[in-house]
Structure 1
Amino acid sequence: MIKVPLRILLVEDNEADILITRRSIQKLVEAPLIVVVEDLSSCREKLVNFIPDLVISDYNLPTCTGLDVLELVKEKDPALPLIFLTGTVHDEELAANTILAGASGYILKKHMNKLEEKLKPLLKKVVFNMVAKDEVRERLRKNKIAINQIYDYLDSLKADNKEQRENIGKLKDTIREFNEEKDGDDSKA
Structure 2
Amino acid sequence: MIKNKLNIVLVEDNKDDVFLIKRQINKIVSEPNIEVTDNLQDFRELLVNFAPDVVLSDYNLPKCTGLDIMETAKEYDSSIELIFITGTINDEELAANTILNGASGYILKKHMNILSEKLNPLLKKVVINMVSRDELRDRIRNNKITVNQIYNYLDKINSDNAEQRDNIQHIKQAITQFNLDNGDIK
Superposed pair shares fold, TM > 0.5? yes
In the alignment, the residues of structure 1 paired with residue 127 and residue 71 of structure 2 have an alpha-carbon distance, to the nearest angstrom, of: 22
1:186 matched residue in structure 2: none
1:103 matched residue in structure 2: 103
Q: CA deviation at 1:100?
A: 0.3
1:47 matched residue in structure 2: 47
Decide whether the 8 Å contact of 2:89 with 2:95 is kept in 1.
Answer: no
1:144 matched residue in structure 2: none
2:124 matched residue in structure 1: 124
Richer in strand (by share): 2
Q: CA deviation at 1:16?
A: 1.0
* TM-score (norm: length of structure 2): 0.71
Aligned length, in residue pairs: 137
RMSD (CA atoms): 1.5
**Cα 1:5/1:63, change in 2 over 3 Å:** same
* Structure having the higher Rg: 1
Unaligned segments of structure 1, at least 5 residues: 138-189
* TM-score (norm: length of structure 1): 0.70
Decide whether the 8 Å contact of 2:9 with 2:37 is kept in 1.
Answer: yes
Q: CA deviation at 1:135?
A: 7.8
Report the identity percentage: 64
In the alignment, the residues of structure 1 paired with residue 42 and residue 136 of structure 2 have an alpha-carbon distance, to the nearest angstrom, of: 32
Q: CA deviation at 1:131?
A: 1.4
State the Cα deviation string for residues 17-67 of structure 1 (Å, max 9, x = none).
101110111111111100000000010010011110000000000001000
1:68 matched residue in structure 2: 68
SS at match of 1:33: strand
1:94 matched residue in structure 2: 94
Unaligned segments of structure 2, at least 5 residues: 138-186
Q: CA deviation at 1:133?
A: 3.1
